[in-house]
Structure 1
């Protein structure tokens, strides 16, 4: 790694990128992968066949550029989300990371700033840096329970041009109350900030957790981002999207690359959306395993954070790296997110959950014996 950085230092790299590390979770050949919150159930056979047929139809015309406005896709996304949304309210890109990048390109940049509330999604500061946007780490989320008063105060004092609210939050899994979103939106009035509610894991929320989509009407600076990577089991497709006032999408057209969504991506996403009921059938199974993990961790004397996502952050570990390595040696890869005393695990299948809990239990027992 030091040799790599030495070579890199010889290039005329931007000063603000020197010494930075790229995003990257370990990609290891392990029987049970529970580290990056993928949907481990995969794509059902009927949907897989529909995607193959849709892509096959597009192959005939691959010599032509795709629909630059991805009209059919925006129509299907609006239908899926509901809430009275129309295609004009939708935007999509190659994963929700590119959606967020578009927002930072349009509304951030040199001389502007974005605020988030760590611990939260680690890509926010990286995306801000890549667009020359100053990133502000807000306070008040150390206990994973960001409240309206604290969040509003931080946003008001920061004067930030963009605000990131992650709900359910990654890595904690905790969902924000709508009062937080409303308070932050009001607090950002003077700065006319774009308020982004990142709902990548929204489909896994407990019953009664209300989406920020319900707040979009009348709030032209509010954006709700989603992804097809998690609940739809299509991480490899790279399709993220947002809902907002139509003028936000118009702004993003100024910064997107020409024809940024390939015909293949659009075909696969459209086929999936027209079979959303089949794809989402496993969401309830995943929620069952998530809650089973929470119960199992409590029985082991650990402290899981209540989760509305498809993963669980848990603490109470004296030596997280030893546990992480022990699980890896046992064929289970989970995530060290850098929070002292904590690790994070994705909710997988029933079998995967069983192996994780049994392996973890054995490691903890060994530590006290």
Structure 2
């Protein structure tokens, strides 16, 4: 039986839903059928045939045994992830889930919850507060900075807010989404020393960082409350595969075992992710091409008088728009979908293929003439 949106809203208002969820809206980036989709930071390149064949074969081998539960400890996958990351990491320091959002959910289930607080620095990844609230963790919107174009997160301001709010979980993003800006490791060190809780450094876009940009993975030794999260959705072009992961002290992964659902990673998911990792060199071959288009966007939007934030990700945030929503709609009318992230006068665009980037830049130039 179908119903209208208003009818469903009426029923929802009568359901005994938690009070702190009333009035909330779910996460949702527009999924529109347009020629150029540059709004969700996906890798625009299709999975290569060589990797497709490896994935199909890996799934074929698992298919016969789908009557059995998967490896609950996803041991082989953790070993492969440790080998990929390097930094002398071992399998017992790795954890994975169905996308990095599930990994973050595990972290908040173990270290957050009712009566506890999570702190993030806005603007940043929108799912951090959504996941926190969903688990009953109080969310604190921290200040990122005063420069409206760069949104740098400085050491002193970071420490000041951690000391003020005393969070149980603190989120840092490097590169940050939606600004694309990376963190100096001095900020991570200082944040870690300032908190008694866990510090999560979200490095979903780390593979796209410019040369010389450091990773918080180098800080893991001796820091038992530091967690570094990654994903295979972006650089690995595996957004549809849903595999996120983290690296931390082995005791952290033991804590996450207390809250994960049994057999949370299917045999198929594990097989697909491992096949992708075995062909990391092939899949990551597109990273440099994407970085070239990102840098092209930075240069060309600046030439149009729209100041960009310096980006170490596969996207660019740019400002200077008198009416960001009007520009977004104008681009959409020209077959180009970008992201309005809610920052006044700003839009965010994913770096796509050379052809997609050209279409975006041409459409943007035309939109400014409207």
Q: TM-score range by the shorter chain?
A: over 0.9
Cα separation, partners in 2 of 1:237 and 1:328, compared to 1, 3 Å: same
1:53 equivalent in structure 2: 57
The answer to whether 1:18 aligns with 2:26 is: no
Partner of 2:143: helix, strand, or coil? coil
Q: Which moved more, 1:321-330 or 1:204-213?
A: 321-330
State how 1:1-369 maps to structure 2 within 5 Å.
1-143=5-147, 144-188=151-195, 192-364=196-368, 366-367=369-370
Native 8 Å contact 1:337 1:343 kept in 2 = yes
* Contact residue 77 and residue 273 of structure 1 kept, 8 A: yes
Give me the whole-angstrom Cα distance separating, in 1, the residues matched to 2:6 and 2:367.
34
Q: Match of 1:116, SS?
A: strand
> What secondary structure, in the 3-state scheme, does the structure 2 residue paired with 1:117 have?
strand
**SS of the residue 1:304 aligns to:** coil
**CA distance in structure 2 between the partners assigned to 1:277 and 1:140 by the alignment:** 35
3-state SS of paired residue (2:160)? helix
Q: 3-state SS of the aligned residue for 1:223?
A: strand
C-alpha separation in 1, matches of 2:266 and 2:299: 43
Q: Distance in 2 between matches of 1:214 and 1:3?
A: 53
Long gaps (5+) in structure 2: none
Q: Is the 8 A contact 1:91 1:241 kept in 2?
A: yes
The alignment yields a C-alpha RMSD, in angstroms, of: 0.8
SS of residue matched to 1:200 = coil
Counting matched residue pairs gives: 363
Please tell me whether the aligned partners of residues 317 and 342 of structure 1 are also in contact (alpha carbons under 8 angstroms): yes
SS across alignment from 1:303: coil
Instruction: List structure 1 runs of 4+ shifted beyond 4 angstroms.
Output: none
Instruction: After superposition, give the CA deviation of every residue in 1:236-287 in whole Å (9 maximum; x if it has no partner).
Output: 0100000000000000000000000000000000000011000000000000
- Report deviation, 1:42: 1.9
Is the Cα contact below 8 Å between 1:319 and 1:341 reproduced in 2? yes
Distance 2:29 2:273 in 1: 25
1-structure distance, mates of 2:207, 2:8: 40
Contact 2:204 2:234 in 1 (8 A): yes
CA contact (8 A) 1:119 1:142 kept: no
